[in-house]
Structures are given as C-alpha cells and as structure tokens.
Chain A
Amino acid sequence: MIEVDHLRKAYGPLVAVEDASFTARPGEIFGLLGPNGAGKSTTIGCICGLLTPTAGSIRVSGHDVVASAQSAKRTIGVVPQEIALYEDLTARENLDYWGAVQGLGGAALNSAIQEALQSTGLADRAREPVKRFSGGMKRRLNFAAGILHKPKVLLLDEPTVGVDPQSRVHLLDLVRGQAKAGACVLYTTHYMEEAETLCDRLAIIDHGRIIAQGTLEELRSMLGERDLLRLTGVFPEQAVRAALAQEPELELLGFEDGQLRLALARASERLSRLFELLGAAGAEVRGTTLTRPNLESLFIKLTGKELRE
C-alpha cells in the first residue's frame, strides 16, 4: 500500500509538488495522470526514496520512506521513465545485476530471471547485448528488471513512452498481471487512453497539485455525462453570456479571448440551436471542437487546457 499525505516537494522557490495526498491499495492500479512537468516523476521519486520530501509524509507497505528508507525500499520495485539498463551487458546479465541489487541470489535469482525473460518475451534474446535491442524490447527488459523480486509496491513512471503499439499492449498486460498477483501499482502517464483502460483509480495532477481523484466513473461523473464544446471565434462577452444563460443544461466553463468552453448534454443535437443563439448575440463562430466525456475533457474542464499542452 502507498499512503501519500500532504506531500510537498520544493527546489528553492520552485514547487514541484504541492499538498498531494492519495492512497493506493494492494491489487489495484492507481494512475497519476498529468501533462509533462506536472509533478508525476517527482512524486514517484519521493515515494521510492530518491528525493526527500520537503513536507508531508509517505508510507510504503507501512514503512515511512524517510525514517525507514531501507525497509520501504525492499518492498518497492521501480520501473523508471528512462531505459535504465547497461547497453553493453546482455539481457540476462542486466537482470542478474538488478536482481542481486534487489536482494536476490543463487537459485531464486536464476528462477526469477528465467520467469521475467519468459513473461516479457525476451527468453530467446537473453544472451544478446541490450544495445542490439529495439526500443520496445528495451522497455520490456526495463520492466522485467523492476519486477524480479516480486515487489509489493510497483512504481511505473511512464513505462510506455516511445513504445510501438504491440509492445505497449504487451507491457500493459504485464502491469495488469502484477496487480492481479496482489501488487499495489502506481502508474504515471500522460496518455489518457492508457489511464482509462488500465487504472482502477486515478489522480489527475497539474502544476504539482492533485486536482481530482477517484475511479474512472467518479471522475466521469464530475462532467455529469456532458459533452465538452470548444468554440473559437469572436464573442461579445456580455451578449454571449446573456444568450447562453437562457439555455438549460449548459455550463459555461471558460470565456477567454477568442475561445468559449461549454459543457452541455447532447451537444451534437443542440449545435444548430446554439449557433443561432450566438449569432443573435453578435458572435462569429469560426471553429468548433466537440469532445465526448472522458478524462481529457475532464482535464480540460478542470485546467482549461488540453492534456498534451
């Protein structure tokens, strides 16, 4: 289990994570969804003991990561965002090293290596140097190196970045397998689809702050099953606000220069009526983007920007 309580991490005046709290339970995949630079890797760094929190506390498998760092680390497996492998060693030699570092030895290590190579589909390439591997193979080996010791807590920091679709599917299956085996998985990503299909519960993070968290259903309900409509053009504010106020089941999310963001039910059916209203108010619509309710639309609703921005 991972228990993060009011975590704060600052580098001088720069605050990377502010007041983050969440709990990830054994057997579940907990996603941290946010754009690049949102604070996901910093949060993982604090959990695995690489970074010292400025404030707040983190407990992993019941151990405080600062006070009982070694006890906590023994239960953690980390798959970093970088492909942290020795390119000049073979796949087997890499696993031999990472397994030994994680406390395995002798027959247990050999058995774990064999199992990891089989599960990642690399058994037939075990004796090849990693530098000859494709990006996807390296990613799978990177994953294998983190699960050799069957950790209770698995931290995955964007493990599918730059991976081909086939390897991605393979990797996501491996992650599900770990959760199914009882591990508590913390998975960071900026791929919305990945978070939607993989995670049991999610926290959306932006600028170091968790802005929403819950199950996928809970998060979707925050949008109220409404579509997200983004209009670009020229909008006289007062007249437009007055016109839209007459419409039922419509929420004005944002009114910026040349851009209008609306949440409304059955948006596609109501577009013509909406254009009439806006036209009567003196607005000129030049572009329309309709987004079905999903994590991205929730993110847009909460932050006013797209996840990939």
Chain B
Amino acid sequence: MRLLIASFRKDARRALRDPFALALWLGIPFSILLVMNLAFGGTASSGPRPQGVILIADQDETLLSGAVSSAFSQGPLGEMFKPEKTTEPDGRARMAKGEASALIIVPKGFQSAVLDNRPAVVGLVKNPSQSIMPEIAGQSLDMLAEAVHYMHVVAGDELKMISSQTDQPSDADVVKTSLAINATVKRLTQYLDPLLLDLEIKQPPKKEESKPFNMFASMFPGIVFMSILFLGRGSSDDIWDELRWATLRRAQSAGLPVTAIVGGKTLAAMLTAALVTGLALVLGWLFAGVTVANWAAALGWLMAGAAVWYLAMLILQILAGARERGEIFTSLVVFPSMMVGGSMFSFDMMPESIAAIGKLTPLGWMVARFTSILGGAAPAASVLAWLGVMAAAAAVLFMLSARLLRWRFLKG
C-alpha cells in the first residue's frame, strides 16, 4: 500500500503539473458541444410561440363573412394568428412587403352565394417566404369552407331567413327560427336516436408532458465521457516517457512491483478525471440546466469510467510497442467509439437502429447509464450493480496491463 501511495502521489503530481493538458481534455469536448449547439440549435422550448399576422379583406361585410374573420381570432387559431382587417389593395401591398403570413379576401356577395348554394370564391394570398403559418391559414380556411357547407345543408332555410332581415330580427322571427331549427333537429334525431354509434367516452391517460429537446443536456453525458476518453489516451501515452527516461526500470530495480506502478497510474487517472469531469458537472449544472440527481453516484461513475478507459488505452499502448503506433492503436478505438457511443452525437440525435448498436459498445453502455444516473432514473441497486461491472472490468484490465507491461518491457 505504501508503494502504491508513493506511485500515485508521483503520477498525480505529474498529471496536475500540466494544466494545459487538463484544459485540453475538458476544452476539446466542450468546444465540440458548443459547435454542435450552434449548428443544430439550442433548447426548443425557449422563446415565445410564433404568431402570424393574417390580413382579412372583408368586401361582403355580412354575418357570414364576419364569421370568417372571427374564426381566426378564437380558440387555437387565435393563439397562432393575429387577424387584422384591411382592404384588398392595402392587404396586397402589405403582403408584398412580407408583413403578414396570409391575406384572405372575402368577396362581395359571399353570404348570399353561400345561402343560395352557389359557388363562392374566397381568395387566399400566401407569403412565399414563410412555410408553416401560411399553410396553417390555408388548411384552416378549407375546414371553414367545409363547416359552412354542412351548416347550409342542415339549416340553410333558417339561415336564409335570418340573413334576409335587413334590420335586427324581431322576437317573433327569432322564435319562428328557433322552432324551425328545433324541428330540423327532431327530424335528424330519428336517425341519431337511438344512437347508431355507441360512443364511449374515455378519459385518456394523462400524457407525460413531453420535455422540449435540449441539445446541451442531451449531449452532455457523452461529452463528459469524451473528456474521459481523451484523458485515458493522453495519460496512457506517458508510459513512453517513463520508458525513455528509464524510470520504470529504476523503480523495478528498487523493488517497486509492476502492480504498484500500474495501480498508481490508474489512481492518478481517476483523480484527474474526478477533477476534470467534476468541473464539467458543476459548470453544466450551474449554467446549462444539467440535472445532477446524485452527485456522488455521477462522480463515482465517471471515476470508474476513467479507470476502465485508462487501463484499456494502456494495454493498447503496450501492445503497440512504440509511441507512434500507440497513437494509431488508441485512435482506432477512441474515434469510432465516440462516433457511435454517444459522445459525438447523442443517442437522441441518432437513428434508432444506430443508437441501439451504439448503446452496446462499451462507451455507449457507460454513457447511457451515466444519463440515467444524472437524471435520477436509475435506482440505487442498479447503480451499484453497474459499478460492480465496471470494477470487474477494471480489475481484469489491471491484471492484464500489469502482466503485459512486465512481459513487454520489464522482463529480465
């Protein structure tokens, strides 16, 4: 234990002596995150809902033409559109300037045409520079035309009677119209009562309010693990300096076991990871709304991940046999892992099939579980079980790397 601590102290000192490397291990992944955020957008929930201006040129100025205007100021359409009355020339001029999403022109004689069951043409001018709002206006107008058609079929005569009044209808006319509509309804009721359709009303299960997509939060777990990959790669590269300086052989001749050498280096990598990724967690939590349900579990998971990745990279370096080849070997693992393992693109951004494959990779497995730990979705028992798997993997890699190091470079 004394020798392990001596080895750890030395490697930790050396790692912390190089703040530039620490900054790079944190800075590169977060620069990638920043670029991705700028390229693909930030939180979708932020900002007010877009509202389009809809211009209505009512040349008919009747009850029915007024209903068209009212339709765009009530209910959900009212949230989306701000209707403004205008004349046709003024409306066209404003549309030319791009000041509105659409212009609806209700021609003179619209109401009488509807009541006489004659074709009536309502004009719609869309803003070509917008895609969504004009389309909604067009579809809303189609539905309105359909509603007017059915209203005419059911109560055309009555509406005709009301519309024929030049002045305010008298009480007698209202009663007469009401009775007529009532008779119509009774006539229709024989077809509808008893109900031909058995209407079952169910209260739909309350849908969990879907959270808006937040790219930063979505990519954050993978980005943190990208730091760990870089850290593992950079730290394992140190073995070449040790061999060049002959410090490993000197340590061995002084009686330091290879397990203490590898153990010290692994602990130093874990400490460095705790500092680098801990800082990332705090910054993410403070400034980007990243949820950290359990700090201790999150940090423990990252340190375990650092141990596994450091040892895996160390094995690759030893197998490579030379620094240049080591760089190639580790790159061959690091970059493909980042691409599919949730670091370069979050699983939310990937096609489902690729995401499913990515989650099966070691990095993807770690990132997916880290996401659960961060969000607090993972029960404590699961977290402990996962940490057990990580510890087992680290133990196997540790024994393998110690043996390989002795066999490759320190064998007498």
List residues of A whose CB falls within 8 A of some B CB: 45, 48-52, 70, 73-74, 76, 78, 80, 82-89, 93, 96-98, 100-103, 105, 145
Determine whether the beta carbon of B250 is less than 8 Å from that of A97: no
Determine whether the beta carbon of A88 is less than 8 Å from that of B246: no
8 contacts between A and B (CB under 8 A): A50-B253, A50-B410, A76-B253, A80-B246, A80-B253, A87-B245, A97-B6, A101-B254
Known: A50-B412, A88-B17, A101-B6. 4 other contacts (CB 8 A): A50-B253, A73-B253, A86-B247, A93-B13
Whether B140 is near chain A, meaning CB under 8 Å from some CB there, is no
Whether B212 is near chain A, meaning CB under 8 Å from some CB there, is no
Whether B85 is near chain A, meaning CB under 8 Å from some CB there, is no
Q: How far is the CA of A86 from the CA of B253 in the complex (A)?
A: 16
Whether B251 is near chain A, meaning CB under 8 Å from some CB there, is yes
B1-20 interface bits toward A, Cβ cutoff 8 Å, 1 = contact, 0 = none: 01101110110011001100
Partner of A45, one of B18, B251, B412: B412
Q: How far in angstroms is the closest Cβ of chain B from A126?
A: 15
> Which of chain B's residues has its CB closest to A151's CB?
B254
> Which of chain B's residues has its CB closest to A94's CB?
B10
Interface size class of B (residues with CB under 8 A): 20 to 34
Q: How far in angstroms is the closest Cβ of chain A from B379?
A: 42
Q: How far in angstroms is the closest Cβ of chain B from A148?
A: 10
Partner of B245, one of A51, A76, A86, A100: A86
Interface residues of B in 298-314 (CB under 8 A from A): none
Determine whether the beta carbon of B14 is less than 8 Å from that of A89: yes
Q: How far is the CA of A89 from the CA of B251 in the complex (A)?
A: 16
B255-280 interface bits toward A, Cβ cutoff 8 Å, 1 = contact, 0 = none: 11000000000000000000000000
Determine whether the beta carbon of B14 is less than 8 Å from that of A52: no
Q: How far in angstroms is the closest Cβ of chain B from A116?
A: 15
Interface residues of B in 370-412 (CB under 8 A from A): 410, 412
> Which of chain A's residues has its CB closest to B14's CB?
A88
Determine whether the beta carbon of B255 is less than 8 Å from that of A85: no
Q: How far in angstroms is the closest Cβ of chain B from A128?
A: 13
Determine whether the beta carbon of A100 is less than 8 Å from that of B2: yes
Whether B184 is near chain A, meaning CB under 8 Å from some CB there, is no
Which of B13, B14, B246, B250 gathers most chain A CB within 10 Å? B250
Determine whether the beta carbon of A85 is less than 8 Å from that of B247: yes
Chain B residues with CB under 8 Å of A100's CB are 2-3, 5-6, 9
Determine whether the beta carbon of B247 is less than 8 Å from that of A50: no
Whether B31 is near chain A, meaning CB under 8 Å from some CB there, is no
Chain A residues with CB under 8 Å of B13's CB are 89, 93
Partner of A97, one of B9, B246, B249, B255: B9
Chain A residues with CB under 8 Å of B252's CB are 50
Chain A residues with CB under 8 Å of B5's CB are 100
Q: How far in angstroms is the closest Cβ of chain B from A131?
A: 11
Partner of A86, one of B14, B18, B254, B412: B14
Q: How far in angstroms is the closest Cβ of chain A from B234?
A: 14
Determine whether the beta carbon of B250 is less than 8 Å from that of A78: yes
Determine whether the beta carbon of B254 is less than 8 Å from that of A102: yes
Describe B's contact surface by its main secondary structure: helix
Determine whether the beta carbon of B18 is less than 8 Å from that of A88: yes
Describe A's contact surface by its main secondary structure: loop
Q: Given contacts A52-B412, A93-B13, is CB(A98)–CB(B246) below 8 Å?
A: no
Determine whether the beta carbon of B246 is less than 8 Å from that of A73: no
Q: How far is the CA of A82 from the CA of B245 in the complex (A)?
A: 7
Determine whether the beta carbon of A101 is less than 8 Å from that of B256: yes
Determine whether the beta carbon of A97 is less than 8 Å from that of B10: yes
Q: Given contacts A86-B14, A97-B6, is CB(A74)–CB(B247) below 8 Å?
A: no
Q: How far in angstroms is the closest Cβ of chain A from B278?
A: 23
Q: How far in angstroms is the closest Cβ of chain B from A50?
A: 5
Interface residues of B in 211-270 (CB under 8 A from A): 245-247, 249-256
Chain A residues with CB under 8 Å of B10's CB are 86, 89, 93, 97
Q: How far in angstroms is the closest Cβ of chain B from A99?
A: 9
Q: How far is the CA of A180 from the CA of B395 in the complex (A)?
A: 48
Q: Given contacts A80-B246, A82-B246, A84-B245, is CB(A89)–CB(B254) below 8 Å?
A: no
Q: How far in angstroms is the closest Cβ of chain B from A143?
A: 12
Determine whether the beta carbon of B412 is less than 8 Å from that of A84: no
Determine whether the beta carbon of A89 is less than 8 Å from that of B17: yes
Q: How far is the CA of A73 from the CA of B253 in the complex (A)?
A: 7
Q: How far is the CA of A105 from the CA of B5 in the complex (A)?
A: 11
Q: How far is the CA of A78 from the CA of B254 in the complex (A)?
A: 7
Which of B7, B254, B410 gathers most chain A CB within 10 Å? B254
Q: Given contacts A70-B255, A88-B18, is CB(A101)–CB(B3) below 8 Å?
A: yes
Determine whether the beta carbon of B14 is less than 8 Å from that of A73: no
Q: How far is the CA of A83 from the CA of B246 in the complex (A)?
A: 7
Q: Given contacts A73-B254, A105-B2, is CB(A83)–CB(B245) below 8 Å?
A: yes
Chain B residues with CB under 8 Å of A80's CB are 246, 249-250, 253
Chain A residues with CB under 8 Å of B255's CB are 70, 73-74, 101-103
> Which of chain B's residues has its CB closest to A81's CB?
B246
Q: How far is the CA of A83 from the CA of B244 in the complex (A)?
A: 10
Q: How far in angstroms is the closest Cβ of chain B from A154?
A: 12
Determine whether the beta carbon of B9 is less than 8 Å from that of A48: no
Determine whether the beta carbon of A51 is less than 8 Å from that of B254: no
Determine whether the beta carbon of A85 is less than 8 Å from that of B249: no
Chain B residues with CB under 8 Å of A50's CB are 249, 252-253, 410, 412
> Which of chain A's residues has its CB closest to B246's CB?
A82
Chain A residues with CB under 8 Å of B2's CB are 100, 105
Chain B residues with CB under 8 Å of A87's CB are 245
Q: How far is the CA of A97 from the CA of B268 in the complex (A)?
A: 15
Determine whether the beta carbon of A49 is less than 8 Å from that of B245: no
Chain B residues with CB under 8 Å of A86's CB are 10, 14, 245, 247
Q: How far is the CA of A50 from the CA of B254 in the complex (A)?
A: 9
Chain A residues with CB under 8 Å of B7's CB are 101
